């Protein structure tokens, strides 16, 4: 999240959009892979580390992961211009497309891929369906920011997903794990329904979205009143911006330290689980990007639509799988493999989006945004 202005690239002098990124942003795939490797090494090499980290919880929420996500999300949400959210909520195409993609297409696609590619592995299949139901409310803000998406639109769509998650998660779990397989005459072995309370989901949403959202809103409100918008966006935001990626890398290290032994001890199972996940992320992101373009959206909103539709709330999926089926269950392993695949794939899609940006017309000067 560099503090330079990212303009629409024009050939040939500024064809390399990626060179406009800061060093931390540009080599993010390297840092992500290094963080994953470090987490796996710590989880395998430090006896009892995973168990020690797992015991540090508030309810069912892992405190180290919660801290990492809060540090990651706060700078991004502090950048949102909250007085401009009205223009996002007025865009019925964006809101309608996002709701359909996240709560109709996404869960249905994961259900289909899980049954098609894991017909003989019911535990993993169930775990993947849970992943498909947990829509992203955290890391998507980072991917959207790196890809120069519309941050106000991202904040709005994440909030909408959070509300739907509280209302619909348990009901959709019952539909996709019990009702629909019965209607289709599928073997429901391993597909026990989800016994998840609305309060548990609400607590997860409050911690991972509510706290950094409130902090970001108050920071902008107080900062602009005290120093003005120009100072806030040109001086303050560049100072806190890098901490978002620091929080992301810390979260990745902790996550893989927690689950390192599970991942490395069952490599073939990880590969089986990874195949439908790869297909899911590719289809959801590409399909959403094409839909946004077809609906006439700008690059910024098309990108936001694609990343909010493709991302998943891995922390909620893992917590639900462990809470319902147990920490050593196949369902929990499927949840753990989710971020193992999602993080590097979506980092790669950030680069794909930035290259696709060239095909969009440059915005009028008055609408260009500074990405601090």
Which stretches in the chain have pLDDT values below 50?
1-18, 365-372
Which CATH class, in words, describes the domain spanning 36-356? mainly alpha
Q: Which tens digit of pLDDT belongs to each residue from 234-279? A: 899 888 888 888 888 888 888 778 777 777 777 888 899 999 999 9
Half-sphere exposure of 341 (CA within 13 A, CB side): 24
Beta carbons of 61 and 237 less than 8 angstroms apart: no
Predicted pLDDT at 53:
74
Closest CA to 132 of 170, 161, 103: 103
Domain ranges of the chain: 36-356
For residue 181, the model assigns a pLDDT of 87
Whole-number Å distance between alpha carbons of 105 and 242: 34
- The pLDDT assigned to 194 comes to 57
Distance, in Å, from the CA atom of 172 to the CA atom of 123, rounded to the nearest integer, reads 18
CA 343, CA 296: separation in Å to the nearest integer? 28
> 49-63: per-residue pLDDT in tens?
777 776 777 656 678
Q: What is the pTM of this model?
A: 0.75
Distance separating alpha carbons of residues 169 and 150, to the nearest angstrom = 26
d(CA 181, CA 52): 38
Which pLDDT belongs to residue 12? 39
pLDDT of the residue at 10: 43
């Amino acid at each position: 999240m560099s503090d330079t202005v990212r303009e629409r690239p024009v050939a040939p002098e500024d064809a390399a959009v990626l060179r406009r990124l800061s060093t931390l942003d540009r080599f993010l795939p390297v840092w992500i892979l290094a963080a994953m490797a470090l987490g796996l090494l710590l989880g395998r090499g430090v006896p009892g580390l995973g168990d020690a980290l797992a015991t540090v919880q508030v309810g069912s929420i892992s405190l180290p992961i919660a801290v990492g996500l809060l540090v990651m999300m706060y700078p991004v949400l502090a950048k949102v211009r909250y007085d401009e959210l009205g223009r996002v909520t007025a865009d019925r195409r964006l809101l309608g497309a996002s709701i359909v993609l996240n709560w109709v297409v996404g869960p249905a696609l994961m259900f289909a891929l899980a049954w098609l590619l894991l017909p003989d592995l019911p535990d993993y299949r169930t775990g993947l369906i849970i992943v498909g139901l947990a829509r992203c409310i955290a890391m998507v803000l980072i991917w959207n920011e790196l890809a120069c998406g519309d941050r106000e639109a991202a904040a709005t769509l994440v909030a909408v997903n959070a509300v739907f998650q509280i209302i619909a998660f348990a009901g959709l779990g019952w539909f996709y794990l019990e009702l629909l397989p019965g209607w289709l005459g599928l073997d429901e072995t391993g597909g026990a329904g989800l016994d998840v309370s609305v309060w548990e989901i609400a607590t997860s949403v409050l911690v991972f979205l509510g706290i950094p959202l409130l902090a970001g809103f108050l920071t902008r409100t107080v900062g602009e009143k005290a120093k003005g918008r120009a100072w806030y966006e040109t001086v303050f935001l560049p100072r806190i911006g890098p901490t978002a990626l620091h929080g992301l890398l810390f979260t990745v290290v902790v996550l893989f330290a927690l689950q390192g032994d599970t991942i490395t001890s069952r490599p073939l199972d990880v590969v089986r689980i990874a195949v439908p996940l790869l297909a899911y992320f590719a289809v959801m992101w590409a399909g959403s990007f094409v839909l946004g373009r077809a609906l006439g959206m700008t690059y910024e909103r098309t990108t936001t639509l694609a990343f909010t539709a493709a991302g998943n709330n891995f922390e909620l999926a893992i917590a639900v799988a462990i809470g319902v089926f147990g920490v050593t269950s196949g369902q929990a392993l499927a949840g753990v493999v989710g971020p193992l695949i999602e993080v590097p794939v979506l980092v790669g899609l950030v680069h794909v989006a930035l290259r696709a940006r060239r095909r969009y017309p440059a915005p009028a000067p008055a609408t260009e945004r500074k990405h601090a």
